[in-house]
């Protein structure tokens, strides 16, 4: 969080770019993501550390309910609809990664943690080798910024590999970065 007197403003420190100038004319979101989040609001929240307002605060609970109600088998009904924390899913060592994945589901929600990003993303991804699907959550701001920018270029689904870097965040964990899958 910014020190008293150094709160983020509408003016970015570098290059004289205002927050309003970020993401001018982004590509439209794909149909399956329409109404779930707004790229500019998401980016502004990350930059200014102001709260992110979800378009539908009930979306996550509704999604889990629909998954249960549309289960194809009894086993699916009993299966826990889990979201794994990306920090726990990828070992905390440099170069550890998800392997090649396709992010094909995405939601952005506000965070009620007292520190860190004001929002986080929950994404679903299919392993490009096995086809297995998993859902993850992360507040990693650099990773969120990459997803925002990739979406603003119109790429969906996002084929990538999420890898831990050599540098650490404030909490002492190796940071994430998204790379092409190959």
pLDDT, tens digit (0-9, with 9 covering 90-100), for 143-161: 999 999 999 999 999 999 9
| Residues 1, 49 contacting (CB under 8 angstroms) | yes
Distance CA 167, CA 23 (A): 27
Q: Please tell me the pTM assigned to this model.
A: 0.84
Beta bridge partners of 103: 125, 158
> Between helices 39-48 and 141-152, what is the axis angle to 10°?
150
Domain locations in the chain as residue ranges:
26-179
Interval 61-110: pLDDT, tens? 787 788 788 888 888 887 766 789 999 999 999 999 999 999 999 999 98
* Interatomic CA distance for residues 108 and 45, integer angstroms: 11
**Distance in angstroms (rounded) separating the CA atoms of residues 42 and 108:** 8
Q: Are 103 and 147 in contact (CB under 8 A)?
A: yes
């Amino acid at each position: 969080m910014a020190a008293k007197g150094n709160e983020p403003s509408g003016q970015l420190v570098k290059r004289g770019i205002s927050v309003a100038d970020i993401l001018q004319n982004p590509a439209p979101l794909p149909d399956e993501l329409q109404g779930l989040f707004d790229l500019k609001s998401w980016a502004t929240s990350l930059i200014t550390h102001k709260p992110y307002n979800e378009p539908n605060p009930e979306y996550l609970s509704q999604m889990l309910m629909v998954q249960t109600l549309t289960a194809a088998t009894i086993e699916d009904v009993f299966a826990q609809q889990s979201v794994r924390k990306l920090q726990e899913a990828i070992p905390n060592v440099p170069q550890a990664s998800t392997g090649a994945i396709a992010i094909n589901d995405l939601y952005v929600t506000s965070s009620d943690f007292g520190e860190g990003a004001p929002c986080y993303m929950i994404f679903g991804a299919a392993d490009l080798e096995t086809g297995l699907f998993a859902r993850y959550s992360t507040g990693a701001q650099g990773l969120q910024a990459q997803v925002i920018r990739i979406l603003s270029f119109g790429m969906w689904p996002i084929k990538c590999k999420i890898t831990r870097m050599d540098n650490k965040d404030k909490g002492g964990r190796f940071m994430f970065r998204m790379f092409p899958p190959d």
